[in-house]
Structure 1
Amino acid sequence: MRIVDIREQTLPISSPIRNAYIDFSKMTLSLVAVITDVVRDGKPVVGYGFNSNGRYGQGKLMRERFIPRILEADPASLLDDAGDNLDPHRIWDAMFTNEKPGGHGERSVAIGTIDMAVWDAVAKIADKPLFQLLADRYGDGRPHRNVFVYAAGGYYYPGKDLDKLKDEMRSYIERGYNVVKMKIGGAPLDDDLRRIDAALSVLKDGQKLAVDANGRFGLDTAIAYAKALSRYDLFWYEEAGDPLDFELQATLRNYYDKPMATGENLFSMQDARNLVRYGGMRPDRDWLQFDCALSYGLVEYLRTLDMLGQHGWSRTRCIPHGGHQMSLNIAAGLGLGGNESYPDLFQPFGGFPDGLRVENGFITMPDLPGIGFEGKADLIRVMRELSA
């Protein structure tokens, strides 16, 4: 058993939308295929992975450092103890060979993307959905098949007035979501408050709005928004300031006693640990959004979950960023609090397997091999072109 090839392709996921910090007109991602010599139904088992939106494709790093390290390793050194499957942890160690600690940056995205493809292959070789494999290995064997999901949108784009924002939010509610999210910080405070009022006007009892500033604010502006947002019953106030400004986040709790969320732009267990140590995050109400596809993959995410438990955090306070099926499987297999969803954006990579319905804010995991990419026709078509 061995990996015979690893392929990467940089693909566009461009869109005219913007948040408070960046526009997505030139956004890309890396698609990876890990091809093995294991045969199922007459075809080689292939694991697929891609990185989340908001960080660009990392093909150069993969081709120069991480893919060669895997392919040059003794194939036997990448297998589990039984020798009947690949070992994601040993493959991760091979990728990280000769890398210094710290300075995580873009390499965490490159490794996280390959790691996703490895786990997809591992679950397919085991002939299990990834969520079941994770529950078997790291839990009690009983996955949480019903997973909370929220609809992320509410971006700024040309010509989008309040009526169009309301139509967008209404469309998510009609599709079964009961929590929706919109961007703030890309307009003056008074304009954003009008946008929030418009979005809230289409919600009914039991339905919530989350807002996301994408790290745009300095302390004074973050506090001004906190005071203004306190009048609402929001699901959360997300990433007010720079993700590494733990003092800003810790100070903000003095002005906003309702739920806050952050973490999507922290790319290692060590950075996540600094957030919970110094960022003033409150385990009884706040949310952590670490995204495995951007932060060295599931191997590192398991370390992060262990660290959170040592610091008194429940993994149910984790709702990952990214809206991809990898985090959806992690949420089901390891008992996280839910997952982000992009019902309309970043296609074909956003969204769920075809025919999967959202009911009262939850989806039920289907029995698909691996991560389940084969259940989304437009996505698996692109993936198979890479591995053909």
Structure 2
Amino acid sequence: MRITDIKVETHPIASNIRNAYIDFSTMTCSLVAIVSDVIRDGKPLVGYGFNSNGRYSATGLIKERFIPRLEKAEPRSILTKDGNNFDPSLIWDTLMANEKPGGHGERSVAVGVIDMAVWDLVSKIEDKPLYQLLAERYGDGTPDKSIFVYAAGGYYYPGKNYQALKDEMQSYVDRGYRVCKMKIGGADLTEDLKRIDAAIEVVGSGRNLAVDVNGRFDLPTAIKYAEALAPYDLFWYEEIGDPADYGLQAAIAQVYSKPMATGENLFSMQDARNLIRFGGMRPDRDWLQFDCALSYGLVEYLRTLQMLRNHGWSPRRCIPHGGHQLSSNIAAGLGLGGNESYPDLFKPFGGFADGHPVVDSYVTLPDVPGIGFEAKSDLIPIMHALAS
């Protein structure tokens, strides 16, 4: 058993939207195909991966640094002991050979792309959905039948007024979402509160609305917003300051008693552990958003989950960022709290399998081997084109 080819391309996921920090007009992602010599139905099995939104493609790093290491590896050195499948942990070790600790940024994205493709391939070789494989290897053997999802949107874009925001939120409600999220921090407090009021008119309650600052606030601004947001009883107040400013996060926990969320821009187990140690996050109400596709992949995410357990956190407090199918599989297979969803953005890489509608903010996963890309008709042709 061996890898016969690894292919990578850059694809656009551009949009005219913006949050409090960046616009997405030039956003890209990397797509990887790992081709094996395992033949099913007359064709080689292929694993696919791509990086989550919010970070640009890492194609250069993948091509120049990480693919060569995997290609040079002795084939037997990356297989399970019985030789019947690839071992994701051994492949991860191969990718990270001769890498210094720290520096968790674009490198973590590049490794995460390859790792996603590896897990897609491994579960296809096992002829199981990835969520089932994860439940059997790392859970109690029974995956969740459905997972919680919320609709992420509410971005700023030119000419978007309150009615346009309400229409957007209504479209999510009409598609089965009970909980929705919107951006704040890209306007002043008075304007953002008017936008929040408009969104709540549609979703019905602050408990059905999350707000996301995308790391924009300094401490005085964060406190000012916290005081204004508290009466709304929001689903969560997200990524309030710089993701690595654990002191700011801890300070807000002292003045804001409602749920907070953060973690999507922390890209390693070590950084996640520092958040838990020093960020004042509360395991009875707060939410953790680590995105495995941006943070060295599922091999590292398993370490992060173990770290959380060691610190008294339940996996149910994790709702990953990104809205991609890998996180959906992890949520179902490992018992997370759910997954983000982008109903209208970052297509075709985000979203769920065909024929799996959202019902009361829950969605089911397809019963197909792998991550489930083959059940997503707008994405799989792009993947097949790369592999061929």
Q: Could you tell me the TM-score, scaled by structure 1's length? A: 0.99
Query: Aligned pair 1:9/2:9, yes or no?
Result: yes
Q: Specify the code of the residue in structure 1 equivalent to 2:314.
A: S
Query: Aligned pair 1:122/2:132, yes or no?
Result: no
**Displacement, 1:199?**
0.1
**Which ranges of 4 or more aligned residues in structure 1 deviate by more than 4 Å?**
none
Q: Where does residue 203 of structure 2 map in the other structure?
A: 203
Q: Where does residue 306 of structure 1 map in the other structure?
A: 306
Query: Aligned pair 1:35/2:30, yes or no?
Result: no
Q: Specify the code of the residue in structure 1 equivalent to 2:148.
A: F
Query: Aligned pair 1:362/2:362, yes or no?
Result: yes
Structure 1 CA distance for aligned equivalents of residues 165 and 203 of structure 2: 12
Contact 2:206/2:234, CA 8 A, preserved across alignment: no
- SS state at 2:379 partner: helix
- SS state at 2:210 partner: strand
**Displacement, 1:302?**
0.1
Q: Specify the code of the residue in structure 2 equivalent to 1:76.
A: R
Q: 5+ residue gaps in structure 2?
A: none
Q: Where does residue 230 of structure 1 map in the other structure?
A: 230
Q: Where does residue 179 of structure 1 map in the other structure?
A: 179
Contact 2:180/2:203, CA 8 A, preserved across alignment: no
Structure 2 CA distance for aligned equivalents of residues 27 and 72 of structure 1: 31
Q: Where does residue 245 of structure 1 map in the other structure?
A: 245
**Displacement, 1:205?**
6.0
Q: Where does residue 291 of structure 2 map in the other structure?
A: 291
Structure 1 CA distance for aligned equivalents of residues 329 and 253 of structure 2: 32
Contact 1:178/1:206, CA 8 A, preserved across alignment: no
Q: Specify the code of the residue in structure 1 equivalent to 2:280.
A: G
Query: Aligned pair 1:95/2:100, yes or no?
Result: no
**Displacement, 1:104?**
1.2
**Displacement, 1:181?**
0.2
- SS state at 1:292 partner: coil
Structure 2 CA distance for aligned equivalents of residues 14 and 363 of structure 1: 26
- SS state at 1:381 partner: helix
Structure 1 CA distance for aligned equivalents of residues 164 and 52 of structure 2: 26
Structure 1 CA distance for aligned equivalents of residues 129 and 113 of structure 2: 19
**Displacement, 1:207?**
6.1
Q: Where does residue 255 of structure 2 map in the other structure?
A: 255
Q: Where does residue 212 of structure 2 map in the other structure?
A: 212
Structure 1 CA distance for aligned equivalents of residues 206 and 86 of structure 2: 44
Q: Where does residue 333 of structure 2 map in the other structure?
A: 333
**Displacement, 1:206?**
9.3
Structure 2 CA distance for aligned equivalents of residues 145 and 34 of structure 1: 29
Structure 1 CA distance for aligned equivalents of residues 56 and 338 of structure 2: 25
Structure 1 CA distance for aligned equivalents of residues 207 and 174 of structure 2: 12
**Displacement, 1:73?**
0.2
RMSD of the alignment, in Å? 0.8
Structure 2 CA distance for aligned equivalents of residues 156 and 142 of structure 1: 41
Structure 2 CA distance for aligned equivalents of residues 45 and 258 of structure 1: 47
Structure 2 CA distance for aligned equivalents of residues 181 and 206 of structure 1: 11
Q: Specify the code of the residue in structure 2 equivalent to 1:86.
A: F
**Displacement, 1:140?**
1.5
Structure 2 CA distance for aligned equivalents of residues 368 and 155 of structure 1: 34
When the two structures are aligned, how many residues end up with a matched partner? Answer: 388
Structure 2 CA distance for aligned equivalents of residues 373 and 207 of structure 1: 32
Q: Where does residue 146 of structure 1 map in the other structure?
A: 146
Query: Aligned pair 1:264/2:264, yes or no?
Result: yes
Q: Specify the code of the residue in structure 1 equivalent to 2:365.
A: M
Structure 2 CA distance for aligned equivalents of residues 179 and 115 of structure 1: 30
**Displacement, 1:105?**
1.3
Q: Could you tell me the TM-score, scaled by structure 2's length? A: 0.99
Contact 1:17/1:157, CA 8 A, preserved across alignment: yes
Q: Where does residue 167 of structure 1 map in the other structure?
A: 167
Structure 1 CA distance for aligned equivalents of residues 207 and 301 of structure 2: 30
Structure 1 CA distance for aligned equivalents of residues 275 and 149 of structure 2: 24
Structure 2 CA distance for aligned equivalents of residues 239 and 273 of structure 1: 16
Structure 2 CA distance for aligned equivalents of residues 103 and 116 of structure 1: 20
Q: Specify the code of the residue in structure 1 equivalent to 2:308.
A: L
Contact 2:218/2:241, CA 8 A, preserved across alignment: yes
Contact 1:178/1:207, CA 8 A, preserved across alignment: no
Query: Aligned pair 1:343/2:358, yes or no?
Result: no
Q: Where does residue 316 of structure 2 map in the other structure?
A: 316
**Displacement, 1:147?**
0.3
Contact 1:150/1:180, CA 8 A, preserved across alignment: yes
Q: Specify the code of the residue in structure 2 equivalent to 1:278.
A: F
**Displacement, 1:204?**
3.0
Q: 5+ residue gaps in structure 1?
A: none
Structure 2 CA distance for aligned equivalents of residues 145 and 244 of structure 1: 35
Structure 1 CA distance for aligned equivalents of residues 257 and 341 of structure 2: 26
Contact 1:79/1:90, CA 8 A, preserved across alignment: yes
Query: For 1:135-184, what per-residue CA distance to the aligned partner results, in whole angstroms no more than 9, with x for missing partners?
Result: 01001110012100000000000111100100000110111111000000
Structure 2 CA distance for aligned equivalents of residues 234 and 204 of structure 1: 11
Q: Where does residue 387 of structure 2 map in the other structure?
A: 387
Distance 1:149 1:90, change over 3 A: same
